[in-house]
């Protein structure tokens, strides 16, 4: 609702305005009425409002003075001015202060109604803009804090964007904590698409000035960055205990937490994050404690954590890109063999991570998600219900089979489509096209289109288009007197210098050199 106050020294006017209009029709409510600007200002100091309807001439403080005070204090209220005087100086002064309308008494109800509608739309638009701005800033801050924790941001960029990060760059210690949420009953939770109460937790924690929250894409983790926490270990413990109890009591999830080592400076925060990440990876249904501190873990505990080489993750991406199921299964087997002695909860996490990685490639490089794709996503958490090496290993194989079977079926049905797409490219290469516009035209995911086009033609989309254009340019250079600039435009290059660069890249000579060679021969 839009909050309104009415300020007028005439009681009949005040009461009449309240009763004359159905304020709810304008999505407004009259919060209070006042006989002069001074009383209204006292109210505004405690309670901001969206709209002030005020008279000009009043005792103690008139309407112009009220508007001037509100502007000085940077109140964001809108004003509608009522007056029994049509004096131009009043109108000019009020207009300079930024009013919505200047209405003469007695008030014309139709004109007032139109003004209220206009003000309502303006206020609603401003609110929407503010929401979008706040959401954009929240996403930016979330991204900056995540990069800070993971060591993917330079100190110079931190300094440059410190107004968005809102954390002290020099503080008495930092810690990273990670909250992980697992369903109490994976089968039930996934069937009804419940989510852990992350937003409620964030709202609660953000009231504490030493805690910064960072969300992740999966919706199963919440990162916490504690600032100025050198002597606050017991307070952190209490806050995390409260969260874990709250999650268990109010949702269908369990919560687990890990806390990294104390970071003395901002550039060592990633070290705290790495340890917290390693500890949270072992959190699962069989965990003996819900909160794990880095200082309380044994020195050789890292040997019991899941271990995956970085290049193995890269290979999972690459082999999926080329539709190589056998290689992915082989990499999976190698990872399982390396980790065959780790505890069950770590193995569960590892299995979930591998299958999720293959599945995420479906979403990234695959075609649009369908019912089967959604079904697989809901079954990923099943990894945490299996309790031995063999069952987890077999489950991973079955899920990978299903993922590739699903994508295989789509590829078969898409064979005819790729032929149409190639024919379309052959006929429209000179137009202003790119991978996204083609994907939109044929209702496909752009990354998926790029993958199947490469499988079909052996080259990328950009390479394929450039080859078509250069082939046509060679024909025009050989059989017409058109200039290189004219040919560039005809084959789809808006910039003749870029055309010359591409032509030389594919033919090892400039257009002029190519034409001379043709004339010689």
pLDDT score recorded for residue 192: 45
pLDDT score recorded for residue 403: 81
pLDDT score recorded for residue 384: 83
pLDDT score recorded for residue 320: 57
Q: What is the CATH number assigned to the segment(s) 459-521?
A: 1.10.10.60
SS3 28: strand
What separation in angstroms does the CA of 146 have from each of 54, 154, 502? 49, 13, 40
Burial 346-384 (b: 16+ CB within 10 A, else e): bbbbbbbbbbbbbbbbbeebbbeeeeebeebbebbbbbb
Q: Which residue has the tokens 């770590």?
A: 346
Single out the residue of 279, 300, 303 nearest to residue 291, CA to CA: 279
* 3-class SS shares of the chain: helix, strand, coil, % to 5: 60, 10, 25
Encoded tokens for 326 = 């056998």
Q: Which residue has the tokens 């969260």?
A: 243
pLDDT score recorded for residue 277: 84
HEC secondary structure over 207-239 = CCCCEEEEECCCCCEEEEEEECCCCCHHHHHHH
**Fold that domain 167-303 belongs to in CATH:** Alpha-Beta Plaits (3.30.70)
**496-507 vs 511-520: helix crossing angle, rounded to 10:** 50
**pTM to 2 decimal places:** 0.47
pLDDT score recorded for residue 152: 86
User: Residue 282: exposed, middle, or buried by beta-carbon count in 10 A (0-12, 13-18, 19+)?
Assistant: buried
pLDDT score recorded for residue 288: 66
SS3 54: strand
pLDDT score recorded for residue 378: 77
pLDDT digit string (tens) for the chain, length 521 residues: 999 999 999 999 999 999 989 999 999 999 999 999 999 999 999 999 999 999 988 999 999 999 999 999 999 899 999 887 666 676 777 777 888 888 888 888 899 999 999 999 999 888 888 888 777 777 888 888 888 888 888 877 877 777 776 777 777 889 999 998 888 775 554 444 578 889 899 888 888 888 999 887 666 789 999 998 888 999 999 999 999 999 999 988 889 999 999 999 888 999 999 888 878 866 666 566 789 898 876 544 544 556 665 556 666 665 555 556 788 888 888 888 877 767 777 788 888 888 887 877 665 555 545 566 677 777 888 888 887 788 899 999 988 888 877 765 454 344 456 778 888 888 888 998 888 888 878 777 676 677 778 878 888 888 999 999 999 999 999 999 999 999 999 999 988 888 999 999 999 999 999 998 888 87
Per-domain boundaries in the chain: 2-127, 167-303, 310-414, 459-521
- Cα 175 → chain centroid: 24
Q: Which residue has the tokens 């990978």?
A: 400
pLDDT score recorded for residue 372: 66
Q: What is the CATH number assigned to the segment(s) 2-127?
A: 3.40.50.2300
pLDDT score recorded for residue 327: 82
pLDDT score recorded for residue 205: 87
């Amino acid at each position: 609702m839009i909050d309104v106050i009415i300020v007028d020294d005439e009681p009949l006017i005040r009461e009449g305005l309240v009763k004359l209009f159905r304020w709810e029709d304008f999505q407004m409510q009259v919060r209070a009425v006042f006989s002069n600007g001074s009383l209204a200002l006292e109210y505004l100091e405690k309670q901001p409002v969206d709209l002030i309807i005020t008279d000009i001439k009043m005792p103690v403080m008139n309407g112009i003075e009220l508007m001037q005070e509100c502007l000085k204090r940077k109140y964001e209220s809108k004003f509608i001015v009522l007056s029994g005087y049509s004096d131009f100086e009043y109108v000019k002064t009020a207009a300079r202060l930024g009013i919505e309308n200047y209405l003469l008494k007695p008030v014309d109800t139709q004109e007032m109604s139109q003004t209220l509608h206009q003000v309502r739309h303006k206020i609603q638009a401003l609110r929407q803009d503010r929401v979008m701005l706040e959401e954009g800033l929240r996403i930016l801050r979330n991204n900056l804090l995540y990069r800070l924790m993971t060591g993917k941001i330079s100190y110079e960029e931190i300094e440059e964007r410190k107004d968005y990060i809102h954390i002290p760059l020099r503080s008495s210690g930092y810690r990273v904590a990670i909250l992980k949420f697992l369903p109490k009953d994976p089968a039930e939770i996934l069937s009804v698409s419940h989510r852990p109460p992350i937003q409620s937790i964030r709202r609660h924690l953000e009231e504490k000035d030493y805690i910064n929250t960072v969300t992740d894409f999966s919706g199963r983790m919440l990162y916490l960055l504690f600032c100025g926490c050198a002597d606050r270990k017991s307070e952190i413990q209490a806050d995390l205990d409260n969260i874990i109890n709250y999650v268990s009591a109010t949702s269908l999830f369990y919560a687990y937490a890990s806390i990294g080592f104390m970071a003395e400076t901002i550039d060592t925060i990633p070290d705290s994050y790495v340890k917290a990440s390693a500890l949270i990876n072992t959190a699962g249904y069989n965990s003996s404690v819900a909160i794990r501190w880095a200082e309380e873990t044994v020195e050789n505990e890292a040997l019991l954590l899941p271990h995956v080489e970085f290049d193995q993750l890269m290979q999972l991406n690459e082999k999926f890109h080329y539709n190589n199921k056998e290689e992915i299964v082989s990499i999976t087997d190698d990872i399982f063999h390396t980790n065959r002695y780790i505890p069950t909860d770590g193995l569960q996490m590892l299995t979930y991570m591998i299958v999720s990685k293959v599945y995420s490639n479906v979403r990234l490089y695959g075609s649009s998600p369908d019912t089967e794709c959604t079904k697989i996503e809901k079954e990923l958490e099943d990894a945490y219900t299996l309790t031995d090496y063999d069952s987890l290993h077999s489950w991973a194989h079955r899920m990978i089979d299903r993922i590739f079977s699903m994508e295989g079926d789509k590829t078969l049905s898409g064979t005819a489509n790729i032929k149409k797409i190639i024919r379309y490219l052959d006929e429209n290469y000179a137009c202003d096209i790119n991978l996204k516009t083609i994907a939109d035209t044929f209702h496909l995911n752009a990354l998926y289109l790029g993958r199947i086009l490469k499988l079909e033609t052996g080259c990328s989309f950009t390479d394929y288009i450039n080859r078509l254009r250069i082939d046509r340019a060679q024909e025009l250079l050989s059989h017409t007197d058109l200039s290189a600039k004219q040919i560039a435009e005809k084959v789809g290059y808006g910039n003749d210098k870029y055309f010359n660069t591409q032509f030389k890249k594919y033919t090892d000579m400039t257009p002029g050199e190519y034409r001379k060679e043709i004339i010689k021969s």
